[in-house]
Structure 1
Amino acid sequence: MQETGLETNQQKKWEMPDTYVILFAVLLMAAAATYIVPAGAFEREIVDQVERVIPGTYAGTEGNPTGFMDLFLALQKGMVQSGGLIFLVLFAGGAFEVVERSGAIKGGILRAVTKTQGKEFWLIAIVSILFALGGAVGAVANSVIPFVAIGLIITRALKLDALVAVSITFGATFAGFNVGFLNPYTVGIAQSIADIPLFSGMALRLIAFAVIVGATILYTWRYAKKVLADPSKSLVGVSIETSSLDDNLESPFTARHKLILSFVGFSLLFFIFATIQFKWTIDHMAAFFIIIGLISGIIAGMNYNQVALTFLEGCQKLVYGALIIGVARAILIVMENASILDTFVHALSIPLEGFPPILATIGMFVSNAILNFLVPSGSGQAMISMPILAPLADMIGITRQVAVQAYQFGDGFTNSIFPTSGPLMASLAVAGVPWIKWAKWMMPLFLIWCVIAVIMLSIGVLINWGPV
């Protein structure tokens, strides 16, 4: 019997709209709002070389509704105005691709694994810390997916289950990503938009990193101990396949690999120094990633064609995430051209003004967490939320540094539990773990993270956490 077109259509399943589709829909709503929302603006002043909103100065202005061609011009202008950030993301992807292709990252992880055989806790802790550091500096985020397979080999050898494999790879990566103390894609972009020094506020972020990663390791180990003592306690079942770490984790860790990782580590430390001493910016960091990729390729023994092609492949992998920045910027261009962005800031500040600064900060954190369901891109979300959060922070009396971290926590935490997170769903697919099982396992840890975030943000408000 031949299937009719109607039956075919009925069998089609609804799909979650792509991030670009969602952002274009938001762009259309922003354009429609220019005909409805009254235009207005705050007066601004320069304080410590940063332009800040003056509370209580909002006043109506002449509007400029968005025309049909203006809508698409905003997309083009968004790409142009975000050029520095877009190329930062692309060049960082290129540099990290060269480092990863050299085998240095895999070799370093597997060397740590072999050094801790027979010591389950230290194995889980060290592997988790390595992936967390990768997430915190932006070296491993979406690229964690293939490493989940290594986690599976480790956990099978230890007679643990696939949940632990996902936790010590994907989970640990995003535990570090949550704080992002040296992540150019999230904190770097957000601080640039907020007009505060690049990678400032490092000390408090390092403390938060240690606490969040420590909590993640202890939570994972608590579950792992139960499974080791009684495999029936596993939520997904323990594989009966036996394997040897030596048989499955053979990967060289040569002097070149050590030199590459040392070079990258020192380069990132030097960049922190340069941002403080020489006032380096996002543009400097983008250029610096070219240097990192080039020298790493030379150390790895790649010829000039291999370095170029590998760097470009890394750029290609991040084109999707990079161009989101330009699309998100187009939304702001539409609102700025029509003078309605300050109207939204003013409207948001009215209910928050009645709350203590700590509660208002928690509100920022929660709103960004909700936004991440629709825009699961750290850089894209930074472009949408920070132009609103920065002046809003001025209005409610908190520092922009606190606003940046409220955004970062809101974006980072939900990547580990929302089914709209591409890296999460891909990692679960590699491990063969159903999302429902992961959500059940992850929810208590997610709540622990949230408590830590609230405490840290509260401390940030109380100490008036500034740019240094």
Structure 2
Amino acid sequence: MKKFPNAFVIILVAIIFGWILTFLIPKGTYQREFNPETEQTIVVPNSYTQQDAPHLSPFDLLLAIPRGIAERGSLIVLILLLGGCFYIIEKTGALNQGLNQLILLLKGKELLALITLTILFLAAGFTIAMQEEIIAMVPVLMLFGRSLGYNPLTILSATFGSATVGAAFSPFNVFGVVIAQQEAQLELLSGLEFRLTFLLIASLVWIVIVVQYARKHRVEKSTLVLNVNGLTKRSKLILSLLGITFGIVTYGLVSLGWGFEEMSACFFALGLVSGLIAKFGINKTTELYVGGFKEMIFACVIIGLANSISLVLSEGVIIDTIVHGLFSPLKNVPPSVSAVLMMFSQSILHFPIPSYSGQAILTMPILTPLSDLIGLSRQVTVLAYQYGTITMDLIVPTNGALMAVIALAGVKYNDWIKFIIKPVLIIFAIAAVAILIGIQIGYQ
């Protein structure tokens, strides 16, 4: 094939394929009930039954497109406002001046810069599960990478890849570990030391992977010389406000329970203030904001389309059937084999369910009694879920953030898969070892 389909085409094909599956896979559901203590709707174990339900019409398939985009409204708003904010800051010259000074500082220390970047995004992953927030940063990150002689795949692995690995092995990923432990009726953040140990191991291995690839695939450095005399006072103020905003947002996510809307508000304000500091005036500042929106539109559409896939499978009433088919056979094998297979079953399930928090709510009530039945620790069951599910964010085309990031970086999906498949297999090997050790030591 001379030209591999772009992200838009890939996801459209996946939506149609998902619609076809709704005619081939038996329809069925688990019973669900509302838990007033946790204020969540939970799945009732052993309640799966097949049922008759009407098939989705071709028009229902078309409706899934706008509905999928609309359901991701809060995230799309965040990406648009983040993109507008960074676009304004870029136009003030502060970003380029800052990059210029950073490059001068790191001249001859490109490897140190890459390792530092990787560690920063690993930290962002295991603390706040950063992923979608990276989308708006991609243009700046690509510029930074080229100035140091690193190609897009190197920078993507050091940023998006690192954040995903950090989130997968995190002891306190709110959207993954905390929800899964809550559904498994475990003490929240329990088993911290074991997870921290394997977070460190996975992080060190990932850094080695990134560095080895970078050394073998250096590219010619691009020239970025804007102001060798240093940052202007305005640029210093704008970059300081950028750092302060990231600090406020991180605190809000970790301590105040913030979501996308609160983050959007902070970056919207930062963009306006930055434009005014640069003396653009309110008219030009808002016009630049719109210019930033245009840069992010493709990424926003990709995220919405990816959501349409799970919407089709859900409305086609086959999601629960897929869950039942993947996990029911596990009761017939030894606990150690069952745990590893559970991890890979969670990985497969992540294709139709790109939300790993949603996947935890769906699967943990089913897997918790199953693990008790076969003598498997609930803590190990949570490990199998988090390792198997979150790591797959590096691969699944239903992950809108992944598809948006690689599209903005100018990387084709097939090229990304060729690059990332070996590192992902290495990470899965570490995860499998962690699970098997957990079983041997009676990890609770």
Same fold, judged at TM 0.5 (above): yes
Cα pair distance change 1:453/1:133, threshold 3 Å: same
Aligned equivalents of 2:95, 2:122: Cα separation in 1 = 13
Cα pair distance change 1:451/1:188, threshold 3 Å: same
Provide the residue aligned with 1:340 in structure 2. Answer: 318
1:315-354 C-alpha deviation (Å, 9 max, x unpaired):
3333233234443444444444454332222222213445
Q: CA deviation at 1:55?
A: 0.9
Q: CA deviation at 1:381?
A: 6.7
Aligned equivalents of 1:192, 1:71: Cα separation in 2 = 34
Aligned equivalents of 1:40, 1:256: Cα separation in 2 = 59
Provide the residue aligned with 2:391 in structure 1. Answer: 409
1:224-283 C-alpha deviation (Å, 9 max, x unpaired):
8xx7xxxxxxx56887xxx99896995953444443344333333333433455443333
Q: How does 1:205-216 map to 2 (within 5 A)?
A: 214-216=204-206
Return the match for 1:322 from 284, 300, 320.
300
Return the match for 1:154 from 136, 145, 148.
148
Give the partner amino acid of 1:154: L
1:405-458 C-alpha deviation (Å, 9 max, x unpaired):
64332122689xxxx96866986889xxx969x968x77655544445556778
Give the partner amino acid of 1:22: V
Return the match for 2:66 from 35, 57, 76.
76
Q: How does 1:363-374 map to 2 (within 5 A)?
A: 363-364=344-345, 366-367=347-348, 371=351
Cα pair distance change 1:326/1:144, threshold 3 Å: closer
Give the partner amino acid of 1:16: P
Q: CA deviation at 1:56?
A: 0.8
Cα pair distance change 1:103/1:177, threshold 3 Å: farther
Aligned equivalents of 2:10, 2:322: Cα separation in 1 = 23
1:390 aligns with 2:380: no
Identity rate of aligned residues, in percent? 22
1:55 aligns with 2:45: yes
Provide the residue aligned with 2:270 in structure 1. Answer: 292
1:128-151 C-alpha deviation (Å, 9 max, x unpaired):
556777894655447546754654
1:175 aligns with 2:161: yes
Q: CA deviation at 1:391?
A: 0.8
Q: Which runs of 5+ in 1 are unaligned?
A: 1-11, 156-163, 228-234, 372-379
Cα pair distance change 1:270/1:62, threshold 3 Å: same
How many residue pairs match? The answer is 406
Provide the residue aligned with 2:56 in structure 1. Answer: 66
Any conservation in 2 of the 1:97–1:311 contact (CA below 8 Å)? yes
Which secondary structure does the structure 2 equivalent of 1:173 belong to? helix
Cα pair distance change 1:394/1:321, threshold 3 Å: farther
Aligned equivalents of 1:339, 1:422: Cα separation in 2 = 28
Give the partner amino acid of 2:265: A
Give the partner amino acid of 1:382: P
Cα pair distance change 1:173/1:154, threshold 3 Å: same
Give the partner amino acid of 2:42: R
Any conservation in 2 of the 1:121–1:221 contact (CA below 8 Å)? yes
Provide the residue aligned with 1:230 in structure 2. Answer: none
Cα pair distance change 1:253/1:290, threshold 3 Å: same
Any conservation in 2 of the 1:166–1:427 contact (CA below 8 Å)? yes
Q: Which runs of 5+ in 2 are unaligned?
A: 369-377
Provide the residue aligned with 1:359 in structure 2. Answer: 340
Aligned equivalents of 2:245, 2:436: Cα separation in 1 = 33
1:279-318 C-alpha deviation (Å, 9 max, x unpaired):
4333333333323333343344432233323322333333
Q: How does 1:21-170 map to 2 (within 5 A)?
A: 21-33=12-24, 37-46=26-35, 48-119=38-109, 121-126=111-116, 128-129=118-119, 136=130, 138=132, 140-141=134-135, 144=138, 147-148=141-142, 150-155=144-149, 164-166=150-152, 169-170=155-156
Any conservation in 2 of the 1:181–1:206 contact (CA below 8 Å)? no
Give the partner amino acid of 2:26: V
Aligned equivalents of 1:325, 1:123: Cα separation in 2 = 30
Give the partner amino acid of 1:410: M
Give the partner amino acid of 2:340: L
Q: Give the RMSD, CA atoms, in angstroms.
A: 5.0
Question: Which of 454-463 and 90-99 deviates more?
Answer: 454-463
Any conservation in 2 of the 1:151–1:166 contact (CA below 8 Å)? yes
Aligned equivalents of 2:174, 2:83: Cα separation in 1 = 15
Which secondary structure does the structure 2 equivalent of 1:396 belong to? helix
1:191-216 C-alpha deviation (Å, 9 max, x unpaired):
9999999xx97x99998777656545
Aligned equivalents of 2:238, 2:363: Cα separation in 1 = 43
Question: Which of 208-217 and 350-359 deviates more?
Answer: 208-217
Q: CA deviation at 1:57?
A: 1.6
Q: How does 1:228-243 map to 2 (within 5 A)?
A: none
Cα pair distance change 1:387/1:140, threshold 3 Å: closer
Any conservation in 2 of the 1:65–1:338 contact (CA below 8 Å)? yes
Q: CA deviation at 1:107?
A: 3.6
Which secondary structure does the structure 2 equivalent of 1:382 belong to? coil
Q: CA deviation at 1:52?
A: 1.6
Any conservation in 2 of the 1:190–1:382 contact (CA below 8 Å)? no
Q: CA deviation at 1:400?
A: 7.3
1:271 aligns with 2:228: no
